A and B are shown apart, each in its own frame.
Chain A
Amino acid sequence: MVRLTAARLIANVRRKGSPEGGEPAPQRDGPEAVAASLALGYPWRRLTIGLGLVMLVAVLAAGVGSVGMPPLTVMKILVSRIPSVDLAPTWPESWDTILWQLRFPRIALAGIVGGALALAGATYQGLFRNPLADPMLIGGASGAGLGATIVLVTGVPYLFHGVSLLPAVAFVGALAAVTVAYVIARNSEGLPLATLILAGVAITSLTGAAGAVLMIRSDPDLRPVLSWLLGGFISAQWKHSLMMLPYLIPSALVVASYGRVLNVLQLHEGHAQALGANVERTKLVLLGAASLATAAAVSFSGLIGFVGLIAPHAVRLVWGVEYRALLPMAVIVGAGFLILADLVARTVVSPTELPVGVVTAFCGAPFFLYLLRRRVVM
């Protein structure tokens, strides 16, 4: 019934346009003149299709590599593991191993990390009312990186009752870095983009330097740290995806429950407060949640930039800013994007691999420059 009312309102506008002749409104014709409204219903269809496409991309990506496999076979190998399904294997046994021990865990981790970075990016952007905020650009990822480096080089016990401590320490680093960038950049007018990004750059340099000192002073065997720092999913295992979940799920639940408040926050802070939003508490909670997602991603994939920028942006450009619709879609797009980026990273210079951060930087940095040029919002 609600939807009907809204649908009728909006349909009227579509049909009649503006009946008020006097207003010199800059008219835009076509569907973009009519904003999508959640009042028309939650975009389940779009999300389902998106999720389906990501699955499809995952299956296709799993078939590509030194041993190529047709997508249908990949699908069969996937389905054959479902307990009640009985499929006679028509494929070499080694394919099963390759997929289940190498490619599937890798794709799963890339998807989860991509989703986490997109979630963090979208949240930072909504929180700072700045569409260019990204976990990497504002120092959060490098703060998490320093935290993780500390764990890796000092030999702090990695696992605690089966839960990895790495993201917890990385979380402290991410939170500290973002808070410093925020406090430095904030003035009475708001949060100017240039200062925020410059603060992020300075923090990234500082934490990078601190990380370098730590590594040079530590045990000579730096290979695990170095390969982790470069970023990527080369040594991805199922357990990494599992270890991310205790951090990622709470973060996602918190952010999701603040979707409507994030919309209200897109007004000026004072205005949001006048609409009953508890602005200060919201900021603290969301800063924490986004930094937790960042930390979880960085802990298991190293530093991968621009996913948190590209995915929410693409969603915003196509479907608008309604955060309750934007957040899940950004997660889906982020997952798909990072799965594709990782596919490129491991195939384009085969038999060696590019760090996946190189691929995302090749896509993301020009996109960032384009957005800067368009001055989306300053």
Chain B
Amino acid sequence: MLKVHGLKFSYRGSAVLDGLDLEVGEGEMVGLVGPNGAGKTTLLRLITGVLRPSGGRILMDGADLGTLSPSERARLVSVVPQNPELPLSFSVLDLVLMGRNPHLKLLQWEGRGDMEVATRAMEVTATQHLAGRSLDTLSGGERQRAVVAMALAQEAPFLLLDEPTSNLDLAHQTRVMDMVRDVQRRRGGGVLLAMHDLTLAAQYCTRLILLADGRCYAEGPPDAVLTRENIAGVYGAEVYVLSHPQGGTPVVLPVSGRGDGV
């Protein structure tokens, strides 16, 4: 279970996160939504320890992440960054095996157990048939799945994904999201996704957290969070909220300008 308590972070004097509280429980798939600059990526960077908070704490199963070493932390939380830079001549298998890094000592090599974990991670993400292919021969969707496989090979109970669908076309967006949901169901643990696409987030997440100005503006089931009022309040945009024909989750449609000037 991930708990964030009064988390603060400032960049060049201005507060990016201003006392953020949130929780993601075991077995939950939670979407983190909000406009640009609301602090989504900053929160993920604080959780991975790339940035240090100026106040507040992040607890993972009761352990304060700030007191852990990078490898202890990586055994608890794995991350799929937005647009990861990949060494393109590595094979998918090499990449996935890198996920074992936090479990290995300095001179230790990947062993049989690590290979089994990697194989399972590739099975779950349907990348097994790509194992020997080098990354530069893969499509964007295949690469994204390989990076998810690497994160799964970390065997951390908690998975963070930063905009996992941002560079993908329509078909691959749903494929990656289907896969993440499938992984979550098979594996348990918690998943936190930073998402831009409100409709897609609503479709897949059990709960949404709407960030604005470094604080939690609203949270709850998607239909409670994605209301016209909340979206107008946070994004300053007028929208229609419809109901998805499949499952009834909220679908957010922007209202275009009506020619009466803005």
Contact = CB atoms under 8 A, between A and B. Distances in A.
A2 B135 CA distance: 22
Contacts of B112: 1-2, 5
A269 to B, nearest CB: 8
A180 B141 CA distance: 40
Interface stretch (B21-29, B87-95, B180-188, B214-222): B87-95
Interface stretch (B56-64, B74-82, B223-231, B245-253): B74-82
B99 interface: yes
B134 A33 contact: yes
A268 B85 contact: yes
A2 B102 CA distance: 19
Interface string A312-334: 00001000111000000000000
Interface in A11-28: 11-14, 16, 18-20, 22-28
A280 to B, nearest CB: 9
B133 A35 contact: yes
B106 A258 contact: yes
Interface stretch (A112-120, A155-163, A166-174, A271-279): A271-279
Nearest to A256: B107
B93 A273 contact: no
Given A36-B91, A261-B106, A271-B81, A9 B128 contact: yes
- Chain B contact patch, size range: 35 or more
B242 interface: no
Interface in A250-279: 257-258, 260-261, 263-264, 266-271, 273-279
Given A25-B142, A277-B70, A322 B137 contact: no
Interface residues of A, number: 52
B89 A9 contact: no
Given A270-B45, A271-B84, A275-B99, A39 B119 contact: no
A39 B115 contact: yes
A316 B89 contact: yes
B67 interface: no
A12 B136 CA distance: 19
B258 interface: no
Contact of A2 (B87, B94, B111): B111
A37 interface: yes
A6 B101 contact: no
A29 to B, nearest CB: 10
A34 B49 CA distance: 35
Given A273-B48, A273-B70, A276-B74, A13 B130 contact: yes
B132 A10 contact: yes
Interface string B101-122: 1101011011110011001000
Contact of A266 (B87, B107, B119, B132): B87
Given A33-B133, A268-B84, A274 B79 contact: yes
Contact of A25 (B107, B115, B138, B171): B138
Contacts of A39: 93-94, 97, 110, 115
A20 B72 CA distance: 37
A215 B259 CA distance: 77
Interface string B146-179: 0000100010000000000000000100000000
Contacts of B102: 275-276
A282 to B, nearest CB: 10
A276 B119 contact: no
Given A5-B115, A322-B94, A276 B101 contact: yes
B76 to A, nearest CB: 10
B132 A14 contact: yes
B40 to A, nearest CB: 15
Contacts of A32: 134
Interface of A: 1-2, 5-6, 9-14, 16, 18-20, 22-28, 32-39, 257-258, 260-261, 263-264, 266-271, 273-279, 316, 320-322
Given A6-B115, A274-B81, 10 more contacts: A2-B111, A5-B119, A34-B132, A37-B131, A39-B97, A261-B106, A273-B49, A273-B50, A276-B72, A276-B73
14 contacts: A9-B131, A11-B132, A13-B130, A23-B142, A35-B133, A37-B94, A260-B109, A263-B90, A268-B81, A273-B49, A276-B72, A278-B70, A320-B89, A322-B94
